[in-house]
Structure 1
Amino acid sequence: MQVSHTSAAVSAAFDDPNLIAQAGLVPVMRLAERCGLPRLVTEKVKLTRVTNGAGAAADAKVTSIVAGMVAGADSIDDLDVLRHGAMPAMFAGIRAPSTLGTFLRAFTHGHALQLHAVHRRFLGALAAHTPLLPGADQMAFIDVDSTHKRVYGRTKQGAEYGRFKGIRTLHPLLATVCTPQSRPVIAGVRMRRGKAADSRGAPKFVSEALTTAAEAGCTGTRILRADSQFYNAGVIAACRRAGAHFSITTGMNPSIKRAVLSIPGRAWQQITYPTAMPDPDTGELISDAEVAEIPAYTAFAGRKKSERVTARLIVRRVRDLAKPAVVGEQGELFPVWRYHPFFTDNPAPMLRAEREHRHHAVVEQVIADSKASALAHLPSGHFNANAAWLTLWAMAYNLLRATGALTSAFHAKATTATLRAHLIHVPARLARSARRITLHLPHNWRWQHAWTHLFDTVHAPPEPG
């Protein structure tokens, strides 16, 4: 491909007031309105004690930030992406980045909790209006994990040297919900200081995530999955109070190690991974593993009787390729294994339960998405402003996932970057006639039928009842 004219015959001017660069925001924000986002903000977020008018029109400010994040903004200054061309004619109430920054800095911890309430109810509304979580009435997985986000500047509140030497971070905690047929959506987020322990506040957070999942239509079997940092009695007790199952990696503490080494050799069943995985030490691809279980393992035996839990201990083992085989007493070579145990009351057969637990890694896709979009920066020096920014990103992420689910089967499982490229970053020219606005979009746009289906669906009259 090459430019069809010489450079002398081409000119450029930013002078058309009727163009917009993100026409996909029209159906997306209409969906947000139909799911009650502005109303929820008005009802829940009360910045009445804030001076200088920062708390006024909170609904317009929240929707402006969410729309900017949907369009790809990853900083407060980037929210200016909403103020170009004909955007003010298409959307009312767009706020300047300086106004939105002042609004975020006005948040206290209590206001951040109010925003969490908006997020939970907004997710429930999205699930009710779109096929966001198909099969949730049968089975749903709630995945909990934490991540560290590097930040810069010594005045950023809460930033500390934590897990990574010499790197200042904040430490978000998040929970996602998915079904066997859907991509994950975000059930809850919390911002924490950099040195916060991985499991700090986990039992309460797990309880809220399980409640949010139920409000989003997850009325069937719910299974909480987590890594070893969440293997504690409080998290399991929260699952049982909510009527949910658990599947939590345990690590190899002395009690677990004794139990694993007591498994007889004939109990191990061989499995083959559908896709090979690299060995963490050597980089060689691993396709085979073995799985066994202890049907009744009692965890937390050192605690009082009411806090002990008896359930299944399922163990996967793979060859440790970094270590040579061990020579036995009679000259046989015995392989060295790397063990991966997890504790669960999942009633599924062993191999299925192991496969479902391994799928917990899907939460890493959401974390990677966050750091490639709105969480590329935590934009404020104020801790509660960054906490609000994190929650607003969760809303924007769920809104994009609901948009994809409403568009087509392909877009229901597409990545966020794909959704933006296909549905959001569509240029359009506005034409006005008889008090109506018509969007003129590019001819031969590859995804025009999917975009039109989305547009027609969200603008159709609501179904009666």
Structure 2
Amino acid sequence: MVRLAERCGLPKLAGEHVQLPASKDGTGAFPAAKLMSLVGGMAAGADSIDDMDRLRHGAMGRLFSGVRAPSTLRSFLRSFTHGHVKQLHAVARRFLHELARHTPLLPGADQAAYVDIDDTIRRTHGYAKQGAGYGYSKVKGLNALLGVVSTPLSAPVIAATRLRKGPSNSARGAAAFVAETIRTARACGASGLLVLRADSAFYGADVINACRALGARFSITMRMNASVKATIARIDEDAWTPIKYPQAVWDEEGQCWISDAEIAEIRYTAFTSKPKKQQVTARLIARRVKRLSAGTVPAGQRTLFDTWRYHAAFTDSPLALRDAERDHRRHAVVEQVVADVKNSGFAHAPSGHFQANAAWLALAALAHNLPRAAGALASAFHARATTATIRDRLINVPARLARSARRLTLHLPERWPWSEDFTQLFSTVHAPPAL
């Protein structure tokens, strides 16, 4: 992992862009070494500052130089201000571009790619945590906003992060965040069709117009307000088409799905209360699913007619109706990233200082993308595996360290089930650079 980070220029980027002020205690000195220690520790499984000691146990000190103590890293994080966190975001954007250039991180991005945004609450404890509060989930914590990039052939990677106060509205600053994520995706090779996907919390004129200004498409879940309900009610009954859905059955004779879910589309103009230039006319894709809950039907009776639950998405995707609706549902991939990050580096917001936690979130994103790139080099399976799987199979490999003739030799287990994948990764990362 460290070698891959070095070849993609992470230490150099950190040294060039992260400029902390000089202090008597030296907390801002050597930012590259300290950032590498933090990212390396997270890649190895650390989810708190004290866990960074795992890089200094046993013979690790003989393998890696420049590893800082947890107390040093804690002081380093506390010295961050909002401006320094923005510098770290710049490092993360450039590093993702280098990862995409050196590894098959986003295959097929020149044809089609997707940007997914979502926010989550990181639960915190204690009364002294800066910025903590009760948000939409009624849980006390900090609000983390993630921007994710993926392709139909790749697993998602994190392109942008923001840490916000716990009570923050989901859509706060979303337009600028979407613009940053789209620019990062373009820099990583997403030169073809690029679609922003989001849930109804981000349904707003500013978000959609930010997409259009940068040449990206959008597919956003709509709030079921009176206008949307009235528009769906105007859809002709013959326009509804069954789709593949859980428990659907394919009818060979009729060449169609027998399903409890159907879709249709209609033109819709959104944000009519805003100035004309902010109004958007595009496709309203509606999906309806039969209400099968026993609570909606009295015991011992059957329904006289079907009732439906409706879901609506607003999109300007050029894809056919079935493909556009299916792609919109695949926005759920962002939940996988949220769960992965909260099960890895962002399992905690370890500092009482808000900006330290904001820097920690940005580093957690770096530590998520780095193993993802390593997995893409190792095998097709690891290219789509979770961070925990990559860590267990390719990073936390037991080894015995021996010294002979002033050389260090690592003796790895002979029957390690994933030795071929590890060897493939090791050989690729340590190969001489191309001329």
Displacement of 1:163 after TM fit? 2.0
Q: 1:270·1:288 contact (CA, 8 Å) conserved in 2?
A: yes
Return 5+ residue gaps in structure 1 as ranges. Answer: 1-27, 277-285
Q: Does 2:399 correspond to 1:428?
A: yes
Q: Percent identical across equivalent pairs?
A: 60
- AA aligned opposite 2:85: A
Q: 1:325·1:333 contact (CA, 8 Å) conserved in 2?
A: no
Q: 1:116·1:188 contact (CA, 8 Å) conserved in 2?
A: yes
Q: Following the alignment from structure 2 to structure 1, what is the Cα–Cα distance between the partners of residues 259 and 25? A: 62
Secondary structure of the residue aligned to 1:411 is coil
Q: TM-score, normalised by structure 1?
A: 0.88
Q: Following the alignment from structure 2 to structure 1, what is the Cα–Cα distance between the partners of residues 131 and 284? A: 38
What is the correspondence of 1:128-207 to structure 2 with a 5 Å cutoff? 128-165=101-138, 167-207=139-179
- AA aligned opposite 1:33: E
Match of 1:120 among 90, 93, 118: 93
Match of 1:261 among 220, 225, 233: 233
Q: Following the alignment from structure 1 to structure 2, what is the Cα–Cα distance between the partners of residues 225 and 173? A: 14
Residue equivalent to 2:10: 37
Q: Following the alignment from structure 1 to structure 2, what is the Cα–Cα distance between the partners of residues 324 and 36? A: 59
Displacement of 1:164 after TM fit? 3.5
Q: Following the alignment from structure 1 to structure 2, what is the Cα–Cα distance between the partners of residues 115 and 318? A: 45
Task: Using the TM superposition, name which of 377-386 and 266-275 deviates more.
Answer: 266-275
Secondary structure of the residue aligned to 1:142 is strand
Q: Following the alignment from structure 2 to structure 1, what is the Cα–Cα distance between the partners of residues 240 and 271? A: 25
Q: TM-score, normalised by structure 2?
A: 0.94
Secondary structure of the residue aligned to 1:124 is helix
Task: Using the TM superposition, name which of 213-222 and 331-340 deviates more.
Answer: 331-340
Q: 1:324·1:335 contact (CA, 8 Å) conserved in 2?
A: no
Q: 1:173·1:191 contact (CA, 8 Å) conserved in 2?
A: yes
Residue equivalent to 2:41: 68
Q: Following the alignment from structure 1 to structure 2, what is the Cα–Cα distance between the partners of residues 311 and 431? A: 65
Match of 1:371 among 342, 347, 356: 342
Residue equivalent to 1:82: 55
Residue equivalent to 2:352: 381
Displacement of 1:431 after TM fit? 2.5
Please give the per-residue CA displacement for 1:389-443, whole angstroms capped at 9, x wherever unaligned.
Answer: 0000000000010000010111101111110111011011222334433211011
- AA aligned opposite 2:204: N
Q: 1:50·1:106 contact (CA, 8 Å) conserved in 2?
A: no
Residue equivalent to 2:254: none
Task: Using the TM superposition, name which of 120-129 and 155-164 deviates more.
Answer: 155-164
Q: Following the alignment from structure 2 to structure 1, what is the Cα–Cα distance between the partners of residues 62 and 22? A: 32
Q: 2:297·2:303 contact (CA, 8 Å) conserved in 1?
A: no
Q: Following the alignment from structure 1 to structure 2, what is the Cα–Cα distance between the partners of residues 411 and 398? A: 13
Please give the per-residue CA displacement for 1:284-319, whole angstroms capped at 9, x wherever unaligned.
Answer: xx963100000x211111111101100000011101
Match of 2:368 among 394, 397, 422: 397
Q: 1:138·1:221 contact (CA, 8 Å) conserved in 2?
A: yes
What is the correspondence of 1:348-359 to structure 2 with a 5 Å cutoff? 348-359=319-330
Q: Structure 1 residues 64 and 390, CA, compared in 2 at 3 Å: closer, same or farther?
A: same
Secondary structure of the residue aligned to 2:336 is helix
Displacement of 1:51 after TM fit? 4.4
- AA aligned opposite 1:90: L
Q: Does 2:260 correspond to 1:288?
A: yes
Q: Structure 1 residues 158 and 287, CA, compared in 2 at 3 Å: closer, same or farther?
A: farther
Q: Does 2:370 correspond to 1:417?
A: no
Q: How many residues align?
A: 422
Q: Following the alignment from structure 2 to structure 1, what is the Cα–Cα distance between the partners of residues 243 and 320? A: 14
Displacement of 1:274 after TM fit? 5.7
Secondary structure of the residue aligned to 2:75 is helix
Q: Does 2:219 correspond to 1:247?
A: yes
Residue equivalent to 1:320: 291
Q: 2:143·2:165 contact (CA, 8 Å) conserved in 1?
A: yes
Return 5+ residue gaps in structure 2 as ranges. Answer: 249-257
Residue equivalent to 1:96: 69
Q: Following the alignment from structure 2 to structure 1, what is the Cα–Cα distance between the partners of residues 259 and 39? A: 42
Q: Following the alignment from structure 2 to structure 1, what is the Cα–Cα distance between the partners of residues 41 and 24? A: 25
Q: Following the alignment from structure 2 to structure 1, what is the Cα–Cα distance between the partners of residues 24 and 379? A: 46
Secondary structure of the residue aligned to 2:26 is coil
Residue equivalent to 1:230: 202
